[in-house]
């Protein structure tokens, strides 16, 4: 089986600083999620994490 047939070249993102910022925010939110003690805090953090990942996904789609 040849794996070279499945390679895809990705374009460089038009705004790498924004992508880097969203990735950093994701790391911070994931760390916060592990630290929170109450259910309500975890729910809010998960909501923010989901929104952040959606923004990141959109930016990645736009750059391709």
pLDDT 10s digits, 14-59:
778 888 999 999 999 999 999 999 999 999 999 999 999 999 999 8
Query: What separation in angstroms does the CA of 38 have from each of 15, 26, 58?
Result: 36, 20, 31
Task: Judge whether 52 lies within some domain.
Answer: yes
Domain count across the chain: 1
Instruction: Say how far apart CA 59 and CA 56 lie, in whole Å.
Output: 5
Task: Judge whether 37 lies within some domain.
Answer: yes
Tell me the residue range of the domain where 44 lies: 26-64
Query: pTM of this prediction?
Result: 0.73
Task: Judge whether 1 lies within some domain.
Answer: no
Q: Which residue has the tokens 């969203």?
A: 22
Q: Which residue has the tokens 């999620």?
A: 33
Task: Judge whether 35 lies within some domain.
Answer: yes
């Amino acid at each position: 089986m040849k794996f070279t047939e499945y390679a895809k070249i990705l374009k460089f993102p038009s705004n790498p600083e924004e992508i880097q910022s969203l990735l950093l925010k994701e790391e911070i939110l994931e760390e916060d999620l592990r630290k929170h003690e109450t259910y309500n805090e975890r729910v809010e953090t998960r909501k923010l994490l989901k929104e952040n990942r959606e923004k990141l996904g959109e930016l990645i789609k736009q750059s391709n």
